[in-house]
Structure 1
């Protein structure tokens, strides 16, 4: 049997996991995407994308706690991560995969 206070704990734990794990995944996806598509030399693309990933992770963590529901935060984080990773790893003709 669960107590009335256990549900907010699970929701808070889910938001914390979304901020840490989902934010990390989104930062990785954005780093991979920017490393492929930025119009710079390869070393500059990688450095710029790596530096920008810290801001992406921070924004994802803030969004994980600002979203109206935990499901919505997970949905956005997983959706954006999937789109960015697919866009980064599918174009084989570019030959510039990270």
Structure 2
């Protein structure tokens, strides 16, 4: 029986590689930004807020990875991570400036 591995196009391989990079690194950045924002916005003691935000960041990372592989194209996966990432970065920046002495 003949192997079909060689029949996969190069563009398909690059699209899958791009999705993997988006899921691993983009998902990590999105989860980290969400963790920062959630920790600042939770109305509880600082230590409890950080632990709660870190636990919620695992869910954000899971959703980001699922999004990357469920989207129709690799570019849509990147855009789907970039838009919430930019929003969370803006919120984190605003919260940082509010908490400066």
Q: Same fold (TM over 0.5)?
A: yes
Q: Are 1:79 and 2:83 an aligned pair?
A: yes
Q: Provide the C-alpha distance between the structure 2 equivalents of 1:90 and 1:59, rounded to a whole number of angstroms.
A: 25
Select the structure of larger CA radius of gyration.
Answer: 2
1:60 and 1:93 mapped to 2: Cα distance? 28
Once the two structures are superposed, the pairs formed by residues 1-98 of structure 1 within 5 Å of their partners are 5-91=9-95, 92-95=97-100
Q: Alignment RMSD, CA only?
A: 1.5
Instruction: Give every structure 1 segment of 4 or more consecutive aligned residues whose post-TM-superposition deviation is greater than 4 Å.
Output: none
1:11-38: CA deviation from partner (whole Å, max 9, x where unpaired) = 0000001110110011011001101111
1 CA distance for matches of 2:55 and 2:37?
13
What is the aligned length? 93
Residue 89 of structure 1, CA deviation? 2.2
| C-alpha displacement of 1:53 | 0.9
CA positional deviation for 1:4: 6.8
- TM-score normalized with structure 2 length: 0.84
Which structure would you say has the larger RCO, counting Cα contacts within 8 Å and 6 or more residues apart?
Answer: 1
